[in-house]
Amino acid sequence: DTAVSQTPKYLVTQMGNDKSIKCEQNLGHDTMYWYKQDSKKFLKIMFSYNNKELIINETVPNRFSPKSPDKAHLNLHINSLELGDSAVYFCASSQNPGSSNEKLFFGSGTQLSVL
C-alpha cells in the first residue's frame, strides 16, 4: 500500500490551461504539504495544511490554490498555467509538525510540463 499517493504521475498541457493534481495519504497524519522541485532539483515548500487548515503559504502566485476536503487529502489546482510552472510537484505528510525531528513522507511526484 502506498502511504502518500499522488495523481497523475505525468501531466502535459498547454499554456493557459487549468489543471489539478490530487494527493492522498493513508498514514493518518494531520499535516500535508506541497513542494515544488525545479529542473535543478531545488526543492521549495509551497503550502502546508494541518487538519484541513492552511498553515504555510510561501509566496506562491494566486493561480495556485490548494484544497483539503479532509485531512487525508490535499489537492493542488493551478489556473492559467505558465511555462515557468513546469516542474515536479511533490505531496508530503507528517504526523507531528510541531516537532522539529519529525520526518516527512513524500509521494512519488507529478511531473508537470507546460508547452
Partner 1 sequence: GDSVTQMEGPVTLSEEAFLTINCTYTATGYPSLFWYVQYPGEGLQLLLKATKADDKGSNKGFEATYRKETTSFHLEKGSVQVSDSAVYFCALNSGGYQKVTFGIGTKLQVIP
In the complex with partner 1, the residue whose CB is nearer, 14 or 35, is 35
What whole-number distance in Å separates Cα of residue 58 and Cα of residue 96?
A: 20
Task: Rule CB under 8 A: say whether 100 interacts with partner 1.
Answer: yes
Task: Rule CB under 8 A: say whether 94 interacts with partner 1.
Answer: yes
For partner 1, the binding residue among 21, 24, 48, 60 (CB under 8 A) is 48
What whole-number distance in Å separates Cα of residue 65 and Cα of residue 80?
A: 12
What whole-number distance in Å separates Cα of residue 109 and Cα of residue 10?
A: 9
Task: Rule CB under 8 A: say whether 39 interacts with partner 1.
Answer: no
Task: Rule CB under 8 A: say whether 102 interacts with partner 1.
Answer: yes
What whole-number distance in Å separates Cα of residue 85 and Cα of residue 61?
A: 10
CA proximity to 4, closest of 22, 24, 21: 24
Residues in contact with partner 1 by CB under 8 A are 4, 31, 33, 40-45, 48, 50, 55-56, 90, 92, 94, 97-109
